[in-house]
Amino acid sequence: MADTGAGESPQAPLTERGARTRERLLAAAREVFEERGFLDTRVAHIARHARVAYGSFYTYFPSKEAVFLEVADRLFEDMTRHSFTPGADPAAPEPAALEPAARIRRANRSYYEAYRRNAKMMAIIEQVSTFNEEFQEMRRKHRAESVGRSARAIERWQRAGLVDPGIDPEMTARALAAMVDHSLYLWLVQGDDTSDTERLLDTLDALNVRALGLRPHP
């Protein structure tokens, strides 16, 4: 049974102390979710880990589901900042002369590092995505933003004569994103084989580059 609080969702805290407490609850929630999983986590576990009164939790969040959604939303912000399909990492400057293959290489490695930081939560996210519709919608939104950035990069490269104009930018971006995402899920979450990460990343780079018909990065 889901943990629920009374009344409507509380307003964001207005005081500095309240903001710190809310952040403490979010940090505690992530740690508890990673340790127990979503289904076995209770509001009482989160409150105890954050060292706040049980009732105080509901000052900031109406339910366990609500705090999970915010934790996941922040995680996706971190993950999708590093576009793992062809395109620029918007968190880092992109020299105009940087070739597309080099951008793909840098983006894939940025995404790998973000995935590695969040691997435990990604395992929980896979669990929750099977039954929570609100979470599924948030996940789709973040994925669409990331795919959109990659598709726009492919379109730019098509206009520059670097990529085959006959391929569909959006579908190509979706397919390449799925390949990289699932590969890293198997690698980092399922523990498929973690002995040669550089070899995996080099292979993902090469598949991206060849799918687009780009000149390989030296």
Residues 118-164: tens digit of each pLDDT: 999 998 988 898 888 888 888 888 889 889 999 999 999 999 999 98
Sign of the CA dihedral running 114, 118, 122, 128: negative
Tokens in use for 161?
Answer: 């004569």
More reliable by pLDDT, 194 or 83: 194
CB 188 within 8 A of CB 116: yes
pLDDT of residue 11: 55
pLDDT of residue 83: 53
In one letter, which amino acid is 107? A
Most confident of 11-15, 50-54, 112-116, 136-140: 50-54
pLDDT at 86 over 70: no
How much is the pTM?
0.78
pLDDT tens digits, one per residue of 21-69:
999 999 999 999 999 999 999 999 999 999 999 999 999 999 999 999 9
pLDDT of residue 129: 84
CB 189 within 8 A of CB 127: no
Most confident of 143-147, 176-180, 192-196: 176-180
| CA 148 and chain centroid, separation | 15
Average model confidence (pLDDT) for the chain?
84
